[in-house]
A and B are shown apart, each in its own frame.
Chain A
Amino acid sequence: MVSTILQLGLDSLSGNALAVAIIGLVLVEAIVLYFGYGLLESALGKRVIDFLRGI
């Protein structure tokens, strides 16, 4: 984790500030993934379903 935190520039943080930064990162990732995969699904979902159906 230390190397990850260093890479992300969080090494100067501690306590509450570190916790806010980490939880904020997880929250942002979750929102980005939700909308990102949603766009992917709307773009490719039908093709994947047709492929799985063997059409």
Chain B
Amino acid sequence: MEILGVGIQLLAMFTSFGLLIGILFGFFGMGGSFLVTPALLVMGYKPNVAVASGLAFVFGTSVIATLKHRDLGQVDYKLGVLMIAGTTGGIEVGKIGLEYLQHIGLAGTVVSIAYIGLLGAIGAFVTYTALKDGGGGISHDVEEGDEGADDIPPIAQKIQSYNIPPMISVRGGFTVSLWMVLAVAFATGLLSGFLGVGGGFIRMPALFYLVGVPVPVAVGTDLFEIVFSGGIGSFLYAQSGAVDLSIVVPLLAGSALGARIGAGATNLVDEDDIKVYFGVMLLLGAIAVAVREAGSYLGIEVFDLVSLAIIVGAALLVSAAVVVSSVRELRASSSSPEPSTAD
């Protein structure tokens, strides 16, 4: 059976995968595209189709997320517009680089290796901080209203100390050089265009660690910016017909539902309890791409299947952890006695 020329099994698979990613996105405030593009590569899609469809999915997901966060008032529009300008240039350069690598037949390998390094490094950092102090690193809860409560990281203090005019004021009560903001934006845009990711899991930490933007504002501004970077990136690829709607449409249908479940879970579960799973998931993503590349290098086809199983398994593991923890908290809250008001 087919819908719009696409097999029902394929649609169901992408919708289910989107649901898993949506739960992660709603809970952690990150796009999850770092799972989509490797999965598509493992499934045998061409690198430009995998990257383009990943970007289009990120665009749709970020629209939904921005709609959900629009009333929180945690978006620095001036910073967002500057980030858009820098990111646009980065995406264009990243796209040119990817097309060149594809032309010389190295795109799949280079994109995969870049993924391994990036996912591995961020995964190791998140896992390390989570294990080190039981919840260090970055909190993505934007609803607590603790804007300004975070200490400015040392690197951000250093970057803020560079007085290269023009200086701009940023929500959070500090100024930073325009050129520093543009440099961070360009670098994340480069990765976005090259790897087919929205850049949320790179840019949001970059805004916090490098620019010193308070976490809630970093999340809100990042979401606002992803709408444009994802839209521009997917538009550029769509011009050559690389966006595969049979991938994007069901993924988005699943992720929109998953994002609501994940967002609801943030009110129930302490994110610190889950953070270590998230770091492990990123590490598993890096391992999955490494396994696929090893299989390709050694000519062992079954490695592709193993790689896909690791990616889906990682998303399933963390999504299930979020849902199970939420249900457990719900049941605990309904079975616990009502607090006394007598005193």
Which A residues are closer than 8 A to B by beta carbons?
Answer: 1, 3-8, 14-16, 18-20, 22-23, 25-27, 29-31, 33-34, 37, 41, 49, 52-55
Is the pair A34, B64 in contact by a Cβ cutoff of 8 Å?
yes
Among B6, B256, B257, B333, residue most surrounded by chain A Cβ atoms (within 10 Å): B256
Decide if B239 touches A1 in the complex (CB within 8 Å). no
Check A54 against B331 for contact (C-beta < 8 Å).
Answer: yes
Decide: A52 near B331, CB < 8 A? Known: A4-B246, A22-B243: yes
Q: List residues of chain B with CB within 8 A of the CB of A16.
A: 239
Query: How many whole Å from A34's CB to the nearest CB in chain B?
Result: 5
Question: What is the CB-to-nearest-CB distance from A51 to chain B, in angstroms, rounded to a whole number?
Answer: 10
Contacts of A55 in B (CB 8 A): 334
Tell me the minimal C-beta distance from A11 to chain B in angstroms. Answer: 10
Check if B256 sits within 8 Å of A33, measured CB to CB: yes
A26 to B59 CA separation, bound complex (whole angstroms): 8
Residue from A5, A8, A18, A22 in contact with B56 in the complex, judged by beta carbons closer than 8 Å:
A22
CB proximity of A52 to chain B, nearest CB, Å: 5
- How far apart sit A16 and B68, CA to CA, in the bound complex (Å)? 30
Q: Is the CB of A25 within 8 A of B252?
A: no
Instruction: Please give the distance in Å from A39's CB to the nearest CB on chain B.
Output: 12
Shortest 9 CB-CB contacts between residues of A and residues of B: A3-B5, A19-B238, A33-B256, A30-B63, A1-B244, A7-B4, A30-B60, A53-B334, A22-B238
A-B contact pairs, 17 of them (CB 8 A): A3-B4, A3-B6, A4-B244, A4-B246, A7-B4, A15-B239, A22-B56, A26-B248, A29-B60, A29-B249, A29-B252, A33-B64, A34-B63, A34-B67, A49-B330, A52-B327, A53-B334
Q: Which of B248, B253, B331, B334 contacts A33 (CB 8 A)?
A: B253
Residues of A within 8 A of B67 (CB): 31, 34
| CB closest chain-A residue, reference B253 | A33
Contact present for A8 and B235 (CB under 8 Å): no
Interface string of B81-97 (1 = CB under 8 A from A): 00000000000000000
User: Is A25 a contact partner of B238 (Cβ separation < 8 A)?
Assistant: no
Pairwise interchain contact B334-A34, C-beta atoms closer than 8 A = no
Binding site for A on B (CB under 8 A): 4-6, 49, 56, 59-61, 63-64, 67-68, 231, 234-236, 238-239, 241, 243-246, 248-249, 252-253, 256-257, 260, 327, 330-331, 333-334
Say how far B49's CB is from chain A's closest CB, in angstroms. 7
Question: Which chain B residues lie closer than 8 Å to A3 at the CB level?
Answer: 4-6, 246
Closest A residue to B49 by CB, please name it. Answer: A1
Given the complex of chains A and B, what is the CA–CA distance between A31 and B67 in angstroms? 9
In the assembled complex, which residues on chain B have CB atoms less than 8 Å from the CB atom of A14? 241
By beta carbon, the residue of chain A nearest B334 is A53
Q: How far is the CA of A31 from the CA of B64 in the complex (A)?
A: 7
Report the bound CA distance from A31 to B227 in whole Å. 13
Q: Known: A19-B238, A23-B235, A41-B260. Is A5-B245 also a contact (CB below 8 A)?
A: yes
Please give me the residue from chain B that is nearest to A49 by CB atom. B330
Q: Please report the C-alpha to C-alpha distance between residue A34 and residue B248 in the assembled complex, in whole angstroms.
A: 16
- C-alpha spacing A41/B258, complex, angstroms: 12
Are the C-beta atoms of A52 and B330 separated by less than 8 Å?
A: yes
CB distance from A37 to the nearest CB of B (A): 6
Interface pair A53/B331, CB less than 8 Å apart: yes
The answer on a CB contact under 8 Å between B238 and A18 is yes
Looking at the assembled complex, report how far the CB atom of B301 sits from the nearest CB atom of chain A, in whole angstroms: 24
In the complex, which residue of chain B has the Cβ closest to the Cβ of A17? Answer: B239
